[in-house]
Structure 1
Amino acid sequence: MIKFNSMIAIALVAITFTACKKDTNEPIVVVPPSDGSTLTLNGLIASELGSAAGNSVYVDFSRDKQTSVARASWDLGFYCGADFRVILNNTTSAGAKVMTTANASLATVNEADTLGLTLAVSQADPAPSHFAFFDAIDGNLSNTVIPAISATAADNKVIILNRGTGGGIAAKSWIKLKVTRNGSGGYTLQYGKIKETTNFTTVDVPKDANFNFKFVSLTNGTVVSAEPEKTNWDLVWTYSVYQTTFGSTLVPYNFSDLVFINKLAGVTAAVVSASTKSYAAFGESDLSGSITFSSARDVIGSNWRLTQPVTTNGVTAPIGVKADTFFLVKDASGNIYKLKFNSFISNDGGTRGKPVIEYKLLKKGQ
């Protein structure tokens, strides 16, 4: 009986081993990219105005997926690439200033250091000098308000941060903070309210190569998820600090309905005039024409809609999506989609805060 039981045990082990071996040899299933779809982007959290939609909405064409993230859910983004960079939350219009006082520490920075500061966009009277409060509009990581984080801890300065009220975001306490590198290859953040002298919060933020950034909420003192993995989104629709011209002067300004591409992951896009060829008629063979793909983060930007009627050569284009413009988007895998916006406001049959997009695969990546 003992011998019989031993034989059964050996047989079971052999079966298990064979099953495991078979599993390791099974082919990896590669899901083909989506052929295209129509999506209504979920920009609204509750009953807020559509022009101040509370969500940023990330879109992945190849998976027909949208991911909505509350704009106010994070305050700082920590770059996961080779450089050590920290970004502000442009979607809340957060602004900051670097303290240059010698030997300034979190304990020594106080309310007196905030006198005369706004660190915010003035919608009524914007000025070019206000650009200094915000990270570069083009997403250039070499031009952030917070300087590159030095390996020498003492070289990193104290930052004063206005967390922003852009687009109906509730005002929050101003923060003083300092970021250094830690021994694990990531970041260490220390921060507190402006009046604090001893009660500071410390958060370690690891880098993760699967993401462009890891994000921190200063409300909770935690690392939060505020963006999909970098290969899982192509563009984001959002409210944000942007720029416009007042008279002949370029100034920072808060915009609704902005669209930015995922330039850090290699996504590019091109603008196409429907007067050359309609969206419906544009096909793969047309890609060999005079199409120029751009890596500019704002290549789509606000170029897809009008918030005021525009008259050109006697023809007036009404408020709503631009019927004469569509876009091409090349994702990080080389898939090329054509993209158009169908509606975004009541004038064009849409709902503000819930724009409708349509996209179609033109060419698969290699």
Structure 2
Amino acid sequence: MNKFNSMITVALLAVTFTACKKNSDEPIVVVPPSDGNTLTLNGLVGTELGSAAGNSVYLDFSADKQTSVARSSWDLGFYSGADFRVIINNTTGAGAKVITASNASLATVSEADTLGLTLAVNQANPANTDFAYFDAINGNLSNTVIPAVSATAADNKIIILNRGTGGGIAARSWIKLKVTRNASGGYTLQYGKIKETTNFTTVDIPKDANFDFKFVSLTNGAIVNVQPEKANWDLVWTYSVYQTLFSNVLVPYNFSDLIFLNNLNGVSAGVVATSTVSYADFKESNISAVNFKNERTAIGSDWRSTSPATGVKIDIFYVIKDVAGNVYKLKFISMGAGDAGTRGKPVIDYKLVKKG
């Protein structure tokens, strides 16, 4: 009986080894990048106005994929790179302030510490000083409201957060929070509503090298999916805190229909005037004349106009270089009353010009 069992064991090992060897010799299938497509972006959650579209929409040209994520589904993003940084949700108009008192704690910070604070964009009378409430619109991680998370737990401050009501988001309780590093190489978040003195929620957030950020909702303390993996998106269409001139002074302002690039992972963009070359005629030989910018706001709001009626600009198009080096030309077709489009559901066209 033992001899019979031994023979079966040897046979199974041989089959397993052969199967593994066969699998290792199989070719790896590489999916070629998309040649292009025409897409209608799904910016609307429900029946909200298009100017207050509830979704952010992430686009991956090479995969012909769009990913819609409710702007209100997250509050904090925890950076997975070498540094320890936390971002707040500019797409809801969230604002924050650091409590600098050395003896401040989650138990002692209260509503009294919010007196005189709005931590929000004043659309009617914006002020340059209000930039201090928001993360840098260019995505610079050295300029976040929440300071870099120190390895010394006691050095990390209490933060007051207004979760934001930008673009029709329902008002929610203000939050007080503290972030420290944990022994696993990630973050520990402790938070509660501004009136709480006990029973704070604790969440551990690991770093994940496949993503730029891991996101947390303060509604229930859950880690939620927001951005796709960092190599799998090129740009995002969204409502967000941006900037404008008000009485000749640069101020923060909430904008609809913004385009931000995945610049942290090398995506860049350049603008082309149709008076130079048409969208249809633009080809690989024209790429060398494009001034590519690896900036989050390289497109911003410049692709559309709100006067005399909201619509796309027809005298320009864009050229996008993605993470893999693929080059696409991108044209906005419609987005509002001025071009017979639907606000909150812009239509785009993109074509592969050069494979990376």
How far apart, CA to CA, are the structure 2 residues paired with 1:319 and 1:192? 41
- The aligned runs of 1:9-88 (5 Å cut-off) are 13-88=13-88
- 1:40 is displaced (CA, Å) by 0.5
- The aligned runs of 1:111-150 (5 Å cut-off) are 111-150=111-150
- 1:199 is displaced (CA, Å) by 1.4
How far apart, CA to CA, are the structure 2 residues paired with 1:79 and 1:237? 21
- The aligned runs of 1:99-178 (5 Å cut-off) are 99-178=99-178
How far apart, CA to CA, are the structure 2 residues paired with 1:279 and 1:135? 35
How far apart, CA to CA, are the structure 1 residues paired with 2:266 and 2:342? 31
- The aligned runs of 1:198-209 (5 Å cut-off) are 198-209=198-209
Count of aligned pairs between the two proteins = 356
Task: Select which of 347, 353, 362 maps to 2:338.
Answer: 347
- 1:224 is displaced (CA, Å) by 0.8
Residue number in structure 1 paired with 2:320: 329
Task: Select which of 343, 351, 356 maps to 1:360.
Answer: 351
How far apart, CA to CA, are the structure 1 residues paired with 2:74 and 2:203? 14
Q: Partner letter of residue 345 of structure 2?
A: K
Q: Partner letter of residue 314 of structure 2?
A: A
Change in CA separation of 1:7 and 1:81 when aligned onto 2, cut-off 3 Å: closer
Change in CA separation of 1:99 and 1:32 when aligned onto 2, cut-off 3 Å: same
Residue number in structure 2 paired with 1:307: 306
- 1:135 is displaced (CA, Å) by 0.5
Residue number in structure 2 paired with 1:315: none
Query: Does the 8 Å contact 2:121/2:253 carry over to 1?
Result: yes
**Deviation string, structure 1 residues 27-70 (Cα, Å, up to 9, x no partner):** 11111111111111000011111110000000000000000000
Q: Partner letter of residue 332 of structure 1?
A: V
Q: SS where residue 57 of structure 1 aligns?
A: strand
How far apart, CA to CA, are the structure 1 residues paired with 2:251 and 2:14? 72
Residue number in structure 1 paired with 2:292: 293
Q: Partner letter of residue 270 of structure 2?
A: A
- 1:15 is displaced (CA, Å) by 3.9
Bigger CA drift: 218-227 or 10-19?
Answer: 10-19
Q: SS where residue 165 of structure 2 aligns?
A: coil
CA RMSD of aligned residues (A): 1.6
Q: SS where residue 106 of structure 2 aligns?
A: coil
**Deviation string, structure 1 residues 280-317 (Cα, Å, up to 9, x no partner):** 1110011122x2110110111101100113xxxxxxxx
How far apart, CA to CA, are the structure 1 residues paired with 2:343 and 2:21? 55
- 1:21 is displaced (CA, Å) by 1.2
- 1:133 is displaced (CA, Å) by 0.6
Which portions of structure 1, spanning 4 or more consecutive aligned residues, are displaced by more than 6 angstroms? 1-9
How far apart, CA to CA, are the structure 1 residues paired with 2:195 and 2:10? 71
Residue number in structure 1 paired with 2:263: 263
- 1:148 is displaced (CA, Å) by 0.5
Change in CA separation of 1:203 and 1:8 when aligned onto 2, cut-off 3 Å: closer
How far apart, CA to CA, are the structure 1 residues paired with 2:204 and 2:9? 49
- 1:319 is displaced (CA, Å) by 3.6
How far apart, CA to CA, are the structure 2 residues paired with 1:272 and 1:155? 48
Change in CA separation of 1:3 and 1:224 when aligned onto 2, cut-off 3 Å: closer
Query: Does the 8 Å contact 2:310/2:335 carry over to 1?
Result: no
Query: Does the 8 Å contact 2:310/2:337 carry over to 1?
Result: no
Q: Partner letter of residue 47 of structure 2?
A: S
Change in CA separation of 1:340 and 1:21 when aligned onto 2, cut-off 3 Å: same
Residue number in structure 2 paired with 1:313: none
**Deviation string, structure 1 residues 255-298 (Cα, Å, up to 9, x no partner):** 00000000111111111111111111110011122x21101101
Normalised by the length of structure 1, the TM-score is 0.94
Residue number in structure 2 paired with 1:312: none
Runs of 5+ in structure 1 lacking a partner?
Answer: 310-317
Percent identity over the alignment is 76
How far apart, CA to CA, are the structure 1 residues paired with 2:150 and 2:7? 65
Q: SS where residue 230 of structure 1 aligns?
A: coil
Q: Partner letter of residue 163 of structure 1?
A: R
**Deviation string, structure 1 residues 65-110 (Cα, Å, up to 9, x no partner):** 0000000000000001000000010000000000011211111101
- 1:113 is displaced (CA, Å) by 0.4
Residue number in structure 2 paired with 1:284: 284
How far apart, CA to CA, are the structure 2 residues paired with 1:323 and 1:304? 9
How far apart, CA to CA, are the structure 2 residues paired with 1:47 and 1:60? 26
Q: SS where residue 131 of structure 1 aligns?
A: helix
How far apart, CA to CA, are the structure 2 residues paired with 1:178 and 1:11? 58
Q: SS where residue 126 of structure 1 aligns?
A: coil
- The aligned runs of 1:151-230 (5 Å cut-off) are 151-230=151-230
